[in-house]
């Protein structure tokens, strides 16, 4: 266990050198000891911070040095759930689902408009679609959400193209 810090030396380290020399605790026979203690106590917090930082960087370097081979790394597909709405607090115009694997769309679900659809039906629809996709791909797929403006709604774009 380390030795306790001397509170008199800690307070003395905060004073100027002239004030410290005038104190009764100043070692006149060997002033180097008092000077080194003052320097130690003055720079103690900075030195501790440097030491902690060095220890952290040493740990990070050890972690960086690990060479772990990646055997059989398979990326699982994920469900991208896209909401079409103009404002974050505004109503949802439409919703679409797509299954993406390595940036490539593997499967899509036909988008639907949600005008007049209550929240409970929307939640039930989302659960049903995710359940079907999970069953089709054989395991629980992670879900990520995307927001798009209403003007990019695929159903509205189709109507404009047909006209």
Domain match, 82 and 55 both: no
Residue 4 has pLDDT above 80, yes or no: yes
Domain match, 56 and 29 both: yes
Q: Does pTM top 0.85 for this prediction?
A: no
The H or E element containing residue 13 is helix 7-14
Domain match, 84 and 20 both: no
- Is 73 within the bounds of a domain? no
Angular region, 25: left φ>0, alpha ψ -120 to 50, beta rest: alpha
Q: 79-130: per-residue pLDDT in tens?
A: 999 999 988 888 889 999 999 988 888 889 999 999 888 999 999 999 999 9
- Domain containing residue 141: 78-162
Domain count along the chain: 2
- Is 144 within the bounds of a domain? yes
Q: 131-156: per-residue pLDDT in tens?
A: 999 898 888 889 999 999 988 888 88
Q: 3-class secondary structure for 32-85?
A: HHHHHHHHHHHCHHHHHHHHHHHHHHHHHHHHHHCCCCCCCCCCCCEEEEEEEC
pLDDT of residue 124: 94
Domain match, 83 and 55 both: no
- Is 1 within the bounds of a domain? no
């Amino acid at each position: 266990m380390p030795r306790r810090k001397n509170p008199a030396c800690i307070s003395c380290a905060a004073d100027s050198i002239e004030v410290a020399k005038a104190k009764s605790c100043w070692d006149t026979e060997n002033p180097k000891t008092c000077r080194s203690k003052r320097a130690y106590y003055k720079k103690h917090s900075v030195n501790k911070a440097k030491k902690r930082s060095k220890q952290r960087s040493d740990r990070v370097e050890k972690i960086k040095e690990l060479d772990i081979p990646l055997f059989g790394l398979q990326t699982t597909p994920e469900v991208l759930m896209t909401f079409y709405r103009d404002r974050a607090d505004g109503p949802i115009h439409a919703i679409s689902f797509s299954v993406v694997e390595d940036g490539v769309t593997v499967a899509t679900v036909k988008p639907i408009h949600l005008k007049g659809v209550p929240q409970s039906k929307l939640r039930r629809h989302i659960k049903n679609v995710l359940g079907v996709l999970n069953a089709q791909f054989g395991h629980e797929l992670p879900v990520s959400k995307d927001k798009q403006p209403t003007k990019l709604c695929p159903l509205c774009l189709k109507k404009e193209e047909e006209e």
